[in-house]
């Protein structure tokens, strides 16, 4: 069995990749490529796994799905029906969440540059909470709530000063980044919020330290920083919040076990830089380890005593506080594959390289350019073949960065993908774990219509959840001038 296989979900049957028992070659023939294929069963499995891991006998917990990862309406419907709440990051995402039936009291609004319109829509809808990014935004919310004659629920986003040790662009929890209220302003903002009880309800504190975090100690440090801030603010003001939001960042294993080519890259890397990246993308940290590093600390007697020493009686109020989690990637990343067709190939005699040119590039998987991200590739129509021949993969765009290896030359990604012998035009390649930040980021660069997406329902039916762009869609927002 290939290391990528997941019995009952992703399987090789008769040499063909199957998703939830459905032959992907048949889907490609019927719907064309590039083509995203989502699994309802896998989405529901991930939701239950997260909910189970973060249950705590002494503490209330709520999980808000970070819809920026994937806000397709069908995906949102399934996540809502599976029992999660939702976090949005724009007025558009708020609109989508309400459209599929999330109640306002199930919605948190994040965002570093909320517009007047977005704040007004959130306040008017009386959503569960607005996470406040600055003292300026706090004043905005007070003014808008006053003008609407209502009261807004808010949490203050803090800066825990935790470096996660992965790509710098994945870090969000230090003062070097654009997120959160600085430590030297936090108490002033907390007091300012309490000065407007008729228009603000200060219900929480929020943090988010980054994405794809594999070290439980980073979660531990962030959670301790958040609890310590809550205790300190309680001691200074006598006001305790009812919710502590620890953000998301739960890791997903993008690299599959047994990838010999990647393993050899790591062994031959003298700087050990690749080892750090490989570990992040391999992500073998369990949800249980992360849960223990966060809410599990509440059972640590010494830590409890420390909190009480900051704010007398803080342990007493902890039992009334709800812990909020905001996972996105972990909910949806491994729930989809992308099928792409080999359209062309080239053999370079000077280098010995064989290139496979695909109909999906960074217009379809933007993270291969934006983050030098790795998505595991298999030959969907030769899934039983021995993946031992190296190929260079590239997309269709007239852009030298449209390649499936390291566009920056930093050595973060493998130059080659291992696939069976004699790959040729017409063969299908499937990229795995593409359910997050893909449908959201697709673009029409080079006049490329955006891909379609299918959903395999639990009962086995296949439904289109995003139609493929037409040529007419490419010009639907353009205006000819006379």
Catalytic residue numbers?
A: 398
The strand pair at 336-347 and 322-325 is best described as unpaired
Residues whose CB is less than 8 angstroms from the CB of residue 4 and which lie 6 or more positions away in sequence, other chains included: 10, 256, 376, 378, 432
The strand pair at 336-347 and 354-358 is best described as antiparallel
Q: Is 416 exposed, middle or buried (0-12, 13-18, 19+ CB in 10 A)?
A: middle
The strand pair at 462-466 and 452-456 is best described as antiparallel
Beta strands in 274-380 (DSSP E): 322-325, 336-347, 354-358, 377-379
Report whether the peptide linkage leading into residue 34 is cis, meaning its omega lies within 30 degrees of zero. Answer: yes
State both tokens at 119: 């704040």
d(CA 42, CA 79) in angstroms, rounded, equals 11
d(CA 69, CA 65) in angstroms, rounded, equals 9
Contact yes or no for 132/106 (Cβ under 8 A): no
18 strand-pairing partners: 11, 23
The DSSP symbol for 422 reads T
Beta strands in 433-478 (DSSP E): 452-456, 462-466
DSSP H helical ranges for 294-380? 301-310, 314-318, 329-332, 367-370
CA distances from 340 to 36, 369, 429, 439, 451 (A): 9, 17, 5, 15, 10
Rounded to the nearest 10°, the torsion over CA 250, 254, 256, 262 is -120
d(CA 282, CA 375) in angstroms, rounded, equals 11
> Among positive and negative, which fits the CA dihedral 90, 150, 227, 162?
positive
The DSSP symbol for 396 reads S
C-alpha 30 chain-centroid distance? 30
**N- to C-terminal Cα separation, the chain:** 62
d(CA 243, CA 246) in angstroms, rounded, equals 10
């Amino acid at each position: 069995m290939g290391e990528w296989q997941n019995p009952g979900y992703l399987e090789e049957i008769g040499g063909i990749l199957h998703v939830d028992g459905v032959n992907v070659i048949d889907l490609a023939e019927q719907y064309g490529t590039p083509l995203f294929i989502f699994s309802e069963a896998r989405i529901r499995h991930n939701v239950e796994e997260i909910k189970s891991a973060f249950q705590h006998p002494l503490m209330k917990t709520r999980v808000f799905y970070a819809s920026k990862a994937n806000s397709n309406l069908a995906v949102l419907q399934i996540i809502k029906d599976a029992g999660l709440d939702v976090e949005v990051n724009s007025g558009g995402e708020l609109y989508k969440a309400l459209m599929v039936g999330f109640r306002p009291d199930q919605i948190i609004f994040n965002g570093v540059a909320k517009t007047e319109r977005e704040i007004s829509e959130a306040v008017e809808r009386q959503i569960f909470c607005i996470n406040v990014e600055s003292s300026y935004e706090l004043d905005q919310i007070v003014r808008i709530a006053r003008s609407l004659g209502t009261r807004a629920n808010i949490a203050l986003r803090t800066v825990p000063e935790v470096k996660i040790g992965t790509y710098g662009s994945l870090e969000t929890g230090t003062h070097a980044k654009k997120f959160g209220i600085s430590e030297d302003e936090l108490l002033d903002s907390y007091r300012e919020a309490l000065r407007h009880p008729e228009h603000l309800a200060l219900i929480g504190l929020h943090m988010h330290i980054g994405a794809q975090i594999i070290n439980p100690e980073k979660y531990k440090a962030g959670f301790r920083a958040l609890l310590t801030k809550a205790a300190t603010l309680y001691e200074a003001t006598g006001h305790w919040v009812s919710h502590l939001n620890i953000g998301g960042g739960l890791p997903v294993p993008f690299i599959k076990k047994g990838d010999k080519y990647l393993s050899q890259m790591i062994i031959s890397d003298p700087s050990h830089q690749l080892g750090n990246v490989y570990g992040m993308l391999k992500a073998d940290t369990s949800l249980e380890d992360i849960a223990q590093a966060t809410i599990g600390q509440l059972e640590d007697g010494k830590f409890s005593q420390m909190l009480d020493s900051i704010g007398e009686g803080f342990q007493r109020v902890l039992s009334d506080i709800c812990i909020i989690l905001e996972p996105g990637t972990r909910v949806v990343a491994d729930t989809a594959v992308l099928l792409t067709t080999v359209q062309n190939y080239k053999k370079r005699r000077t280098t010995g390289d064989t290139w496979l040119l695909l109909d999906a590039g960074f217009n379809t998987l933007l993270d291969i350019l934006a983050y030098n991200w790795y998505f595991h590739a298999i030959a969907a129509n030769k899934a039983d073949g021995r993946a031992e021949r190296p190929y260079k993969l590239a997309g269709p765009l007239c852009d030298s960065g449209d390649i499936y290896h390291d566009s920056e030359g930093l050595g973060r990604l493998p130059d080659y993908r291992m696939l069976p012998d004699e790959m040729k035009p017409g063969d299908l390649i499937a990229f795995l774990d593409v359910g997050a930040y893909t449908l959201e980021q697709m673009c029409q660069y080079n006049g490329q219509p955006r891909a379609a997406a299918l959903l395999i329902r639990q009962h086995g039916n296949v439904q289109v959840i995003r139609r493929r762009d037409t040529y007419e869609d490419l010009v639907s927002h353009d205006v000819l001038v006379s």
